[in-house]
Amino acid sequence: MKWYWQTLHNDQFFNALWNSARLGAVVAVLSSAVALLAALAFRRRLAGKAVILNMILVPLLIPGIVMGVGQAVLWNVLGLPFSLWGSTLVGHLVYAIPFAFVSIYPRLYKFDPNIEAAAMDLGAGPWDAFWSIVFPRIAPGVVAGMLFAFTLSFGEFIRTLFLIGAQNTLPMYLWSIILTAASPEANAIAVLVVTLSLAVVLIGLAVAGRGLRDDRRGRENSTDASA
């Protein structure tokens, strides 16, 4: 336990952890918000829907090193400084938004729009109908998308390598330890990172599974009521 103890008393480790946690939280919120807005737009008639959908999903298919180099070149062409909350944040958002979208859109696609229409027929406005009828049903997908995006950002290395400025994230700090002063502390950090990421993934799976069970119970109740 010596190396775990040493890691937990390492200020550089905690600074890098704090940067990764904050960046992951911001990426989770922003990517889920953008993905939710995109999913809502796809419920309606939209010109060029197939093209837009392919554009959203393209980052899923491009290797991370290609995206990282391309975004770094773009940032240099624009003459902008590399930073945690500039280039790195944008790079992580481009990476995470498609994953959040594929978590949210299926739940929204399966939602019966007639239920929302019935709520508005009974006097609810579009905003009230969304928050009281639609959002509670798709909330597990939104939460799962947020946790998924957080995990992707928290452990992302390739894109961060090309886009980070003077600050460190946890993967970058771990990489620097391995290159400059390899020690068992790197193993301890790796175990802590994997444990935290696994915990977030398990929470996301639990939330998504609960949403599926709620949907199943809702369909069963609707069937019983019809009978």
Task: Tell me the C-alpha distance between 20 and 193, whole Å.
Answer: 11
- Distant-in-sequence, close-in-space partners of 136: CB < 8 Å, separation ≥ 6: none
Count other C-beta atoms under 10 Å from residue 92's C-beta.
27
pLDDT tens digits, one per residue of 6-40: 888 888 888 998 999 999 999 999 999 999 998 88
Are residues 141 and 104 in contact, defined by beta-carbon separation less than 8 angstroms? yes
pLDDT of residue 222: 46
- Average model confidence (pLDDT) for the chain? 83
pLDDT of residue 226: 46
pLDDT tens digits, one per residue of 76-100: 999 999 999 999 999 999 999 999 9
- Assign 220 a pLDDT band (cuts: 50, 70, 90): low
pLDDT of residue 225: 45
pLDDT of residue 24: 93
Query: Which of the two residues, 64 and 226, has the higher pLDDT score?
Result: 64
Task: Tell me the C-alpha distance between 178 and 193, whole Å.
Answer: 15
Cα-trace Rg, the chain: 21
Domains of the chain, by residue range, sit at 2-220
How far the first Cα of the chain sits from its last, in Å, is 62
- Assign 136 a pLDDT band (cuts: 50, 70, 90): confident
- Flag whether pLDDT at 47 surpasses 80: no
Count other C-beta atoms under 10 Å from residue 106's C-beta.
13
The pTM score is: 0.82
- Assign 66 a pLDDT band (cuts: 50, 70, 90): very high
- Flag whether pLDDT at 130 surpasses 50: yes
Task: Tell me the C-alpha distance between 177 and 194, whole Å.
Answer: 17
pLDDT of residue 210: 65
- The most confident of the ranges 66-70, 113-117, 175-179 is 66-70
Fold of 2-220: MetI-like fold (1.10.3720)
pLDDT tens digits, one per residue of 106-129: 888 877 777 777 887 877 777 888
Are residues 71 and 159 in contact, defined by beta-carbon separation less than 8 angstroms? yes
